[in-house]
């Protein structure tokens, strides 16, 4: 996965050479609040449900394809979803697409440990600290633990007290916390539905489901990668953080689906 992210940043440099090298720094705006990034988590869950409904509708046909073909079908669906999201600028959607392609092209069968993944990112020490705290909160064995959302809210309150985090760092952190809260809720309510897709597609009739937080950590890693990718092309933070939305959302949904399929279905990889 470390190679995957390195390739992802390299691909961004090739895809957006003018923006990455020649744009002026993004202007500063008033401090970002957690509520301004709430839409990321909400839309993330909507896209997860769209993916589930696609898999359910195509359950029979996918059951007769090879694992490689299944993986390609899922990748193409996610890319089409990202590219078709007209709410966000095309160049930000392209970052989500680049991340998705690199993720599905990797030899990894599941997402790397989040701590290893973030080693590839150039982040400030406070950002790393808060991402580490979020990682600890998500290290839960089961779904449905109400303390998870509560602890994430407390973490957001702590972040809000910091006075030396840049707006870009706040967008990254609040995107991560928003995705984490909403994703954990989604999987708590829907993991059994996803698991029920599995038996018709595999002869093993068993799942590799590890700690419940594994999938949510993959979401968070994807969201952070999207935000970091937006930094590379100097995206200007706009009202409602729309400029970042496509990149963050695309990364988060792809990370979640990739890990969710690994955990529950066992038919693609």
Helix axis angle, 38-57 relative to 167-195, nearest 10°? 30
Residue 79 pLDDT class (50, 70, 90 cuts): very high
Residue with the two structure tokens 């970091």: 228
User: Mean pLDDT throughout 7-31?
Assistant: 46
The model's pTM: 0.80
pLDDT in tens, 36-72: 889 889 999 999 999 999 988 988 777 666 777 888 8
The answer, yes or no, to whether residue 80 has pLDDT greater than 90, is yes
- Give the chain's mean pLDDT: 77
Integer Cα distance of 63 and 74 in angstroms: 13
Residue 217 pLDDT class (50, 70, 90 cuts): confident
SS3 content of the chain, % helix, strand, coil (to 5): 70, 0, 30
Structure tokens at 19: 């923006």
- 237-259 burial, b at 16+ Cβ within 10 Å, e below that, comes to beeebebbbbbbbbbbbbbbbbb
Residue 88 gets which letter from DSSP? S
Domain ranges of the chain: 2-7+47-264
The answer, yes or no, to whether residue 31 has pLDDT greater than 80, is no
Using alpha carbons, select from 196, 179, 215 the residue that is nearest to residue 45: 179
Structure tokens at 143: 């779904």
pLDDT in tens, 218-255: 888 888 888 877 776 655 555 445 567 777 888 888 88
- 62-97 burial, b at 16+ Cβ within 10 Å, e below that, comes to beebeeeebbebbbebbbebbeebeebbebbbbbbb
Residue 168 pLDDT class (50, 70, 90 cuts): confident
CA distances from 161 to 48, 125, 155 (A): 32, 16, 10
pLDDT in tens, 117-147: 455 567 889 999 999 999 999 988 889 999 9
């Amino acid at each position: 996965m470390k190679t995957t992210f390195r390739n992802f940043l390299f691909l961004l440099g090739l895809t957006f050479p003018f923006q990455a090298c020649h744009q002026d720094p993004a202007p500063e705006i008033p401090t970002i609040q957690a509520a301004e990034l709430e839409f990321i988590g909400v839309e993330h869950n909507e896209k997860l449900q769209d993916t589930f409904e696609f898999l359910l509708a195509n359950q029979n046909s996918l059951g007769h394809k090879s694992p490689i073909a299944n993986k390609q079908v899922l990748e193409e669906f996610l890319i089409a979803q990202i590219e078709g999201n007209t709410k966000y600028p095309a160049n930000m959607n392209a970052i989500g697409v680049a991340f998705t392609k690199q993720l599905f092209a990797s030899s990894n069968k599941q997402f790397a440990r989040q701590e290893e993944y973030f080693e590839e990112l150039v982040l400030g020490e406070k950002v790393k600290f808060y991402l580490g705290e979020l990682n600890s909160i998500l290290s839960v064995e089961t779904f449905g633990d109400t303390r998870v959302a509560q602890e994430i809210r407390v973490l957001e309150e702590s972040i809000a007290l910091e006075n030396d985090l840049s707006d870009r760092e706040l967008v990254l952190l609040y995107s991560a916390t928003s995705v984490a809260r909403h994703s954990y809720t989604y999987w708590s309510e829907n993991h059994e539905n996803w698991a029920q897709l599995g038996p018709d597609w595999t002869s093993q009739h068993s799942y590799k489901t590890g700690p419940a937080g594994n999938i949510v950590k993959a979401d968070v890693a994807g969201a952070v990668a999207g935000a970091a990718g937006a930094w590379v092309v100097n995206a200007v933070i706009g009202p409602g953080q729309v400029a970042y939305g496509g990149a963050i959302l695309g990364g988060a949904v792809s990370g979640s689906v990739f890990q969710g399929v690994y955990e529950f279905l066992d038919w693609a990889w």
